[in-house]
Amino acid sequence: MLKPSARSDVEPFLAMDVMTAAAELEAAGKRIIHMEVGQPGAPAPAPVLAAAAEALRGRLGYTEALGIRTLRERIARHYAEAYGVAVPPSRVMVTTGSSGGFNLTFLGAFDAGARIAMASPAYPAYRNVMKALGLLPVEIGVGPETRWALTAEHVEAAHREASLAGVLVASPANPTGTMTSPEELRRLVALSDDLGIRFISDEIYHGLVYAGRAETALRHGDRAVVINSFSKYYCMTGWRVGWLVLPDELVRPFERLSQSLYISVPELSQRAAVAAFDSGAELEAVKAGYARNRAALLERLPGLGFDEILPVDGAFYVYASVARFTNDALDFASRMLREAGVAATPGPDFDHARGHRYMRFSFAGTEGDIGEGIDRLAHWLR
């Protein structure tokens, strides 16, 4: 038998597997509350839908591989407006979600065998994609002593052990919701520059901050790769559109890669995304709903037996210990789905070492759904 490649042998992305299992139950007529994937319950904002409707009236074609100019310019302006940081449109590249952005980054900024530091727990696709591309994820276990965030000391120690080529930080982070303080971000970027390590900043949860302030790595120089997306704050997961801000020397190599890998991001999504930045009030109302969901979970989960709830400074996840119920989060998630009709993601997706006693609950759904999810859990755990 002809076999698949060895590099395709990455672990499954469990959140997506849970979503598939939930879809099977739904196809059989069961109602499932979705708290497994980080997917806004709200549709894309009205100006985005209007721009898409307008775009549908004309021809949709390939675009420049770096993205349409109007969108690159609008993204550049966003950095001036939101952070007071000047970014030329020439350094902005539109990607198929941030997923497309970090695939390109791992491929275009590193050679096979490069060691990239990242926190554990972390978003699982980072390590899966790195492995498929022959990079070596260096997972650094973080915990309450640093509010579950990577620090410059962590990176320095890992680099001393064996040279790092890159470091990847997400703030707010998934699954922990924790933020890297502006001062720690400055230290991490400065250290990376000193050591000649490429700093990658996943800023996909910017805009979704409940405590503290999200700072862009671009404030501290122009060597970092910044990854962002319209998926989360802008409620556009299904449109598959995101962006990178690149150091000058990476723009042309990334352009060449994307020309041959996928030609361009769908024009419909790009034209619609231009309007996302003009949707402030609508998006802030959605965020206020997340804040209420967050408050409801933080209030009720401890009483149901979930412990050690992490900070939830930002994003839309609660990562909580289920050690009181089980030592096998995979089994717990599967029973919760079948018996309570609540889909959530087991911790091993994010952390091999400790994840077996954690679950992640996404509260990006509507208030009605999240409230019902909590009620179902209360009933199930009684």
Ligand X SMILES: Cc1ncc(COP(=O)(O)O)c(C=O)c1O
Which residues of this protein are in contact with ligand X, per CB under 6 A?
A: 38, 97-99, 123, 170, 174, 202, 204, 229, 231, 237, 242
Nearest to 99 by CA among 186, 13, 11: 13
**Cβ closer to ligand X: 229 or 279?**
229
Supply the minimum distance, in Å, between the C-beta of residue 1 and ligand X. 33
Compare residues 105 and 174 and give the one whose CB is closer to ligand X: 174
Written as six digits, the tokens of 350 are: 């994010």
Report, in Å, the least distance between residue 324 CB and ligand X: 27
- What CA–CA distance (Å, rounded) separates 351 from 364? 22
Q: Which is nearer to ligand X, 85 or 200 (CB)?
A: 200
Nearer to ligand X among residue 272 and residue 340 (C-beta): 272
Least CB distance to ligand X at residue 214 (A): 13
Encoded tokens for 154 = 């962590």
* The two three-digit tokens of residue 374, written as one number: 């909590």
Task: Name the residue with the smallest CB distance to ligand X.
Answer: 97
Other beta carbons within 10 angstroms of residue 219's beta carbon come to 15
Whole-angstrom Cα distance, residue 162 to residue 32? 46
Residue with tokens 């412990």: 307
**Least separation, in Å, of the C-beta of 311 and ligand X?**
16
Smallest gap from residue 3 Cβ to ligand X (A): 29
- In this structure, are strands 317-321 and 358-362 parallel, antiparallel, or unpaired? antiparallel
The CB-of-13 to ligand X minimum distance in angstroms stands at 10
* 147 CB-contact burial (10 Å; exposed 0-12 / middle 13-18 / buried 19+): middle
Closest CB to ligand X among 96 and 192? 96
CB-based contact 319:121 (threshold 8 Å): yes
Assign 3-class secondary structure to 157-216. Answer: HHHHHCCCCEEEEECCCCCCCCCCCHHHHHHHHHHHHHHCCEEEEECCCCCCECCCCCCC
Q: Which is nearer to ligand X, 237 or 293 (CB)?
A: 237
Q: Which residues of 122-132 are buried (b: 16+ CB within 10 A; e: fewer)?
A: bbbbbbebbeb
Least separation in angstroms between CB 264 and ligand X:
16
Please, which residue, 123 or 363, has the CB nearer to ligand X? 123
Buried b (16+ CB within 10 A) or exposed e, 64-74: bbbbbeebbeb
- Count Cβ atoms below 10 Å from residue 337 Cβ, excluding itself: 21
Least Å from the CB of residue 97 to ligand X: 3
C-beta of 125: minimal distance to ligand X in Å? 7
Burial class, 159, CB count within 10 angstroms (exposed 0-12 / middle 13-18 / buried 19+): buried
Q: Nearer Cβ to ligand X, position 37 or 189?
A: 37
Q: Which is nearer to ligand X, 166 or 340 (CB)?
A: 166
